[in-house]
Chain A
Amino acid sequence: MRDVAVIGVGLTKFGELWDRSFRQLIAEAGSKAILDAGIEGKDIDAMYIGSMSSGRFIDQEHVGALVAEVSGFSHLHIPATRVEGACASGGLAIREGYLSIASGMHDVVVIGGIEKMNDVGGTAATETLATAADQEWEAFFGATFPGIYAMIATRHMHEYGTTREELAQVAVKNHANGALNPYAQYQSPISLESVLKATMVAYPLGLMDCSPVSDGAASIVLCAVDKAKKFTDKLVRIVASGQASDTLALHARRDICTLDATVHASRMAYKQAKITPKDVDFAEVHDCFTIAEICAVEDLGFMEKGQGGKAVQQGITTLNGSLPVNTSGGLKAKGHPVGATGVAQVVEATLQLRGDAGKRQVADAKRGLTHNVGGSGATCVVHILEAM
């Protein structure tokens, strides 16, 4: 297998972008990444686009070719493929691009991730997201993701004594980080009290325990390390790519407090990178709800099972802690345009490893991990990146 590096990144601001279209967003993120990498259209061997549900959000399917077109590359006839795996669509697109270069098939691949979620109302957005749950066992009975993650949370509280305050601290931490990220949807710190007092969505998850509905796009350029020198010196190597699957429905799992897909994807990645969780300097994890970050830091092996709730309080996962988590603000504060999320996580990891993360720069960041989840854990993609 050939070594693969991220050689360019691009991001739009995340948020309620009423005056920006799907096409504008992906073109902006893509052109930024291409300029950052120093490549041209003729250098691109393939494109992979992560988008969960463009069909329901903007009535447009077939967005692989569309993204190539709005990027101005239709005359180059570049192979362009859309990849879907619910909220893990972005991470999966990166993995497809990574595999295509590692295999020797391609040298330069552009990855895009996008979702334009605010063109439909809040109810329609929630229903569209719920299509990633098990339609026969979950959605049919009215379950949507806040309710499903609330079940994980109540069980976690029951099993391990995790508290609402510990959940809330995840949101407080991620907003503090988001306040340092000019691309974040929410750039203001919040208090523990405001999280605890927010409108209840599904006990124990209040409004501020939930990531928002967002518009946004992210893009990266991947290149075979041995071909990258002619474009740029700014290389960040992808040293591992892991992926795993599990049942769509929560109740069918071995343990509803553990995302086994996360366990398996991360173990696959650690094995490939020949490292242990202790060797990771920082991580971007999939905090679609506060409980999801608590499960993630456990299932990725950073904390003992059941101890994830203590991570923020003990200062482990804060920006100046021993393992900063979600320096970008995470899905909670940075925003969660679902198809873009997995790509945006790798953008953040790349910026950190290049030393380009500005006010939220992690000192001496040498190795970062990204963790992208689809649904309540039926799909998980983990990447490990290293500074070169």
Chain B
Amino acid sequence: MEKIGIVSYGAYIPRNRIKTEVIASVWGKDGQAISKGLGVYEKSVPSIDEDTATISVEAARAALRRCNIDPQDIGAIYVGSESHPYAVKPTGTIVGEAIGATPLLMVADYEFACKAGTAAIQTCTAFVKAGMIDYGFAIGADTSQAAPGDALEYTASAGGAAFLIGKTKVIATLNHTLSYTTDTPDFWRRAEMKYPSHGGRFTGEPAYFKHITNCATLLMEKAKTQPGDYTYAVFHQPNGKFPVNVAKKLGFTPEQVKQGLMVPYIGNTYSGASMVGLASVLDVAKPGDRIFMTSYGSGAGSDGFDFTVTDEISSLARHKAPSVAELVENKRYIDYGTYSKITKILFTE
């Protein structure tokens, strides 16, 4: 079978950070207890001029800097997000124009809560496999929203990652992928709503854990693998506790999870969350490493992926774009006043 998979990748995280304790102090809560409870120390905040389109462009450009691919050879761009800047008008066309991939290009925006970006990986893989395109960009990015004072305010952050999918010079072969989907209303936002609603603890056991556990188990059955066969495991990370707990439940060790667990330092980047984690793993991956990834999107579903890192990763100019670790470290702290200005909490229209 032809080896199809990731040809290059890039990530982007806005520089602004706000500490969990700073948010907690505004609401009269015990910041240390919340930080410990969520496993999140600080989160990224988009600057006033950043949105899902700019984050997607930054991530896609980072991916292109690492490889020698003519943007005109890219046949598709799918951007997954739940914070597309426009309700009607695609983010993908902005990205396509910015990286020089237009006009012979298939584009559509995806929405599936936090897993729309990983759904785009599956779409691009299928197009490449069908011979309809040579390369496709799968992007997951978000500037996620949280109502002031809501539990989500401690984690809803911004960031994204882009994966160029193709069949030449593949750095990580996609061996298997599988999705597990049901109609489970754990988290939602209607078009006219500014902030999402969620079902409290209903977002845990019957939503996140059920879908990830089933998806991961069925994927390992299909791939005839065990947790021990993987060097790294990446899970959707709405907070620091859920991915660690689901990994343990499935039989993965903390060591397998650590490299792909970015949420303690940047918060939950929603559509970017598991994909930024995968980018962080690719920053350090060596030929022969096997990577397991399971995303989760509310509503609800999980996409599972089984990758094997190839010798080609040694040839990829990974140093030409900042690693996720570097993006995490490149930060400046803001106070709640600045945060509320940027996130437009102060505006009521």
Q: In the assembled complex, which residues on chain A have CB atoms less than 8 Å from the CB atom of B200?
A: 121-122
Flag if A118 contacts B202 (CB, 8 Å): yes
Flag if B206 contacts A19 (CB, 8 Å): yes
Cα–Cα distance between A122 and B29 once the two chains are bound (Å): 19
Contact with A along B174-207 (1 / 0, CB 8 A): 0000000000000000000000000111100110
Cα–Cα distance between A121 and B201 once the two chains are bound (Å): 9
Q: In the assembled complex, which residues on chain B have CB atoms less than 8 Å from the CB atom of A121?
A: 199-200
Flag if A18 contacts B29 (CB, 8 Å): no
Flag if B205 contacts A18 (CB, 8 Å): yes
By secondary structure, the B interface counts as helix
- A interface list, Cβ under 8 A from B: 16, 18-19, 118, 121-122, 197, 199
By secondary structure, the A interface counts as loop
Cα–Cα distance between A132 and B247 once the two chains are bound (Å): 44
Rounded to whole Å, the gap between the CB of A137 and the closest CB of chain B is 28
Cα–Cα distance between A199 and B205 once the two chains are bound (Å): 23
B30 at the interface (CB under 8 A from A): yes
Cα–Cα distance between A16 and B207 once the two chains are bound (Å): 13
Flag if A18 contacts B30 (CB, 8 Å): no
Flag if A16 contacts B201 (CB, 8 Å): yes
Q: In the assembled complex, which residues on chain A have CB atoms less than 8 Å from the CB atom of B205?
A: 16, 18
Flag if B199 contacts A199 (CB, 8 Å): no
Q: A19-B206, A199-B30 are in contact. List 13 more A-B contacts (CB 8 A).
A: A16-B201, A16-B202, A16-B205, A18-B202, A18-B205, A18-B206, A118-B202, A121-B199, A121-B200, A122-B200, A197-B33, A199-B29, A199-B33
Rounded to whole Å, the gap between the CB of A290 and the closest CB of chain B is 20
Cα–Cα distance between A213 and B245 once the two chains are bound (Å): 24
Contact with A along B247-278 (1 / 0, CB 8 A): 00000000000000000000000000000000
Q: In the assembled complex, which residues on chain A have CB atoms less than 8 Å from the CB atom of B201?
A: 16
Q: In the assembled complex, which residues on chain A have CB atoms less than 8 Å from the CB atom of B206?
A: 18-19
Query: Which of A16, A18, A118, A199 has its CB near the most chain B CB atoms (within 10 A)?
Result: A18
Closest 5 pairs between A and B when the two form their complex, measured CB to CB: A18-B206, A122-B200, A121-B200, A18-B202, A16-B201
Cα–Cα distance between A41 and B201 once the two chains are bound (Å): 38
Rounded to whole Å, the gap between the CB of B99 and the closest CB of chain A is 42
5 A-B interface contacts by CB (under 8 A)? A16-B202, A16-B205, A18-B206, A118-B202, A199-B33
Rounded to whole Å, the gap between the CB of B208 and the closest CB of chain A is 12
Query: Which of B29, B199, B205 has its CB near the most chain A CB atoms (within 10 A)?
Result: B199
Rounded to whole Å, the gap between the CB of B34 and the closest CB of chain A is 9
Closest residue of chain A to B205 (Cβ to Cβ) is A18
Q: In the assembled complex, which residues on chain B have CB atoms less than 8 Å from the CB atom of A19?
A: 206
Cα–Cα distance between A121 and B203 once the two chains are bound (Å): 12
Closest residue of chain A to B184 (Cβ to Cβ) is A18
Q: In the assembled complex, which residues on chain B have CB atoms less than 8 Å from the CB atom of A122?
A: 200
